[in-house]
């Protein structure tokens, strides 16, 4: 029988992998140029969102049990500057950030969840730091998907249940929770 802490870690990792996959399915529908589309001057492009997410993941989760999560080498303001990265470079940033994060979570034990870590010198329990990112990263993935939908319009390939198809989906056989695939 699994402990609640082990179950929490397992389900958190599954959910995070699902959101990572949603981002990747969005990238797959877009060109290099579309990844740099900005809906308006107050918004970020998908490329900039990825830069920020990768910077955050690398800073927060590198040696997170022993070092403050806001690393001195992180250049957060630069994460929001426009760079002319190719689609491949954007995907590499995405993968690097997620690998750091998921590799940090995978070996954790139930006892680790109650350890205190620091982000900007603020003490947090590890479980709270994970919860914080369970809100932060899906928030940005939602932005990525929304921008992708704006760009593709009627050419968008839905990543969830399409409008008007809920009843058919609910009556269909098979897995209803896509995060359970992981």
Domains of the chain: which residue ranges? Answer: 4-181
Which residue(s) pair with 123 in the sheet? 118
pLDDT score of 1: 46
CATH annotation of 4-181: 1.20.120.450
Q: Which of 119, 138, 116 is nearest to 127 (CA)?
A: 116
pLDDT in tens, 124-149: 999 999 999 999 999 999 999 999 99
DSSP state of 154: G
Q: Show Cβ contacts of residue 48 under 8 Å, excluding neighbours closer than 6 positions.
A: 38, 79, 80, 81, 82
What is d(CA 105, CA 90) in angstroms, rounded to the nearest whole number? 23
**pLDDT, position 163:** 84
Rounded Cα–Cα distance for residues 100 and 71 (Å): 14
What are 23-82's pLDDT values in tens digits? 999 999 999 999 999 999 999 999 999 999 999 999 999 999 999 999 999 999 999 999
């Amino acid at each position: 029988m699994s402990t609640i802490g082990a179950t929490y870690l397992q389900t958190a990792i599954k959910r995070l992998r699902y959101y990572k996959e949603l981002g990747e399915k969005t990238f797959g529908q877009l060109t290099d140029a579309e990844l740099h589309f900005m809906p308006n001057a107050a918004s970020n492009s998908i490329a900039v969102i990825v830069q920020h997410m990768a910077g955050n993941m690398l800073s927060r989760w590198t040696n997170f049990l022993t070092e403050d999560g806001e690393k001195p080498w992180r250049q957060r303001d630069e994460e929001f500057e426009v760079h002319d990265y190719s689609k491949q470079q954007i995907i590499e940033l995405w993968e690097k950030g997620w690998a750091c994060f998921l590799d940090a979570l995978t070996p954790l034990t139930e006892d680790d969840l109650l350890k205190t870590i620091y982000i900007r010198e603020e003490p947090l329990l590890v479980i709270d730091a994970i919860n914080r990112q369970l809100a932060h990263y899906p928030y940005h993935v939602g932005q990525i998907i929304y921008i992708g939908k704006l760009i593709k319009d009627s050419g968008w390939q839905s990543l969830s249940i399409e409008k008007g198809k809920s009843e058919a989906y609910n009556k269909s056989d098979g897995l209803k929770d896509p995060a359970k695939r992981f």
